[in-house]
Amino acid sequence: MMYNHTSFNLFCHDNVEVNVSFPAKFPGLKWITAVYALYGFFWISLEGTLVGVTVMGVSTTAVVFAYLVPHLLGDRLFSAKGWLGITAVLGIIFGLNSGILTLFFMVVKTGLHAHGPEFTPPEVAWILQQTLWWTVVGLLAGLGLGMVTSKRMKDEG
């Protein structure tokens, strides 16, 4: 049986590259930062839970990314392929940094309360194991976001 091979190129439409860029500023970032700061204020006073410290690590990464990414990459245009690479790398960094910051906040929480360990060794080991998966999920989410936004810009342009 013979198959017709047709190529599908996500990045080109009529052989024209699409340029994509980051927004100069994320809307509502001041409110998100205020909610994050309020959560951090209450989080620091409560006993340590795995869910609470994970939310703190991931939300810190998200808020820092929301400020830094437009500042560092906001004025640049990327080809669709470059955009896909950038979003993939940012996804990897987001996932890895979320795990690292979660471990950091576990240490901070244990040090501030000073009444023995806040987290058990299995909880720390779980975060270490999940960091690899969060990194992989960040890569996949970055690739997906890059493809969707690239396609959307191509359709709008």
Structure tokens at 7: 């190529």
Q: Is residue 109 part of a domain?
A: yes
Q: Is residue 10 part of a domain?
A: no
CA dist 51 and 97 (Å) reads 17
Q: Has this prediction a pTM greater than 0.85?
A: no
Q: Is residue 79 part of a domain?
A: yes
Q: Is residue 150 part of a domain?
A: yes
Q: Is residue 3 part of a domain?
A: no
CA dist 153 and 145 (Å) reads 12
Secondary structure class of 7 (helix, strand, coil): coil
Q: Is residue 37 part of a domain?
A: yes
Question: Which segments in the chain show pLDDT lower than 50?
Answer: 1-16
Q: Is residue 91 part of a domain?
A: yes
Into how many domains does the chain fold? Answer: 1
Q: Is residue 6 part of a domain?
A: no
Domain interval for residue 122? 19-156
